[in-house]
Structure 1
């Protein structure tokens, strides 16, 4: 991790994901390293701080809750994320992306259109978790537009995305798009990194490539746990060593679940049991 807060991060990630599997309906993955790269690449911030990262994350959180606070042509209720994005109970870890991520200097001479920002959120470099969606398949995605956007433009942009070979959907869920439009334009922190723009889009998507994130965490976990490094601190706080093994096994099963979901054909749709 480029912005790592602790040596024991892999342990914490595996243990918390184990809990999230059981106790949450939808989880949105946000990865410091991915957001760090977005800040450096898109905003030309040489050494991003947590403030820079959090301001980008806040745009995603704001987009998720916009329809609760403002009017729009097509509102997306928070419960609809679960209904539209989670095909099986365990497959509930979402990728997020946001566009445009652009500095005030650049925005001064380019106002991004609906097709441009729609294409941008499907780019691997826009993902706020370190994985490549082109390596996986989409099960569903939710596009939340803000500002100067009309349904006609959204429909045209989505139709174009569907023709792209790089954006692949599982064959048992060929439509897979839910769109929301809210007329309230995005708000930015005065004097902050992000430019004030007329329109923006946030995408929350369920893609089998999320397994790459878990695979990477599991590998780091295994390197430390093989030596039982730092485990005594957790045991000293009242945990049992068996909880580590249990959490790790759960994540191995989760990786397999994602693999199976991506491989399922239309005729196998009934076979996958992910309870």
Structure 2
């Protein structure tokens, strides 16, 4: 009964001044009467509970958004100005979108054409890709390969490999990477040798440290300007957010 009463009081208090409910000052008889009144009211008006829960969820979402904005502000340089991430889309765009990606993540694969659609539809978005492998050894291997391509060959080839890896079926094995690399005419042996280099390791470690500071634990996660978007977001919603940010 006490837990139920505490929950009801918390929900009821959303619409009341903070001082208006003080159970500690009630006598046992007053508390029993209060329980009875609350129970009777909720049985007659059960929709009030859902309304209160909705208000609570809205407040929690607003608090989370404010906290995320503070995290983004505290990590602006690492998010938007690092030298090891791909900068795609329109490098001079007025809106910057950062994507934390894992090649083996099903939602990242689902999001990939959405991002391509976004960049094509809105030609004024700057995209930054953060390699963030968190789903096992295949994820790490794929990211190491992609980063090695970027470091040894360049951004254009990295983008080509990035698009191929996000759609690669099966295991991310050395034979599979060799086939992929040879298909695009890349220096395969050099890339495979560079995958375990300190330079590649530092990029992954840096991205993981940044994600930890931002409290990112899943992929895909996006940061658009000062807004953090946790999880899959369709292109049309991102377009709407971009326009809202431009209007601020």
The TM-score with structure 2 as length reference comes to 0.30
The structure showing larger relative contact order (alpha-carbon pairs under 8 Å, at least 6 residues apart) is: 1
Q: TM-score, normalised by structure 1?
A: 0.28
Structure whose residues are more often helix by fraction: 2
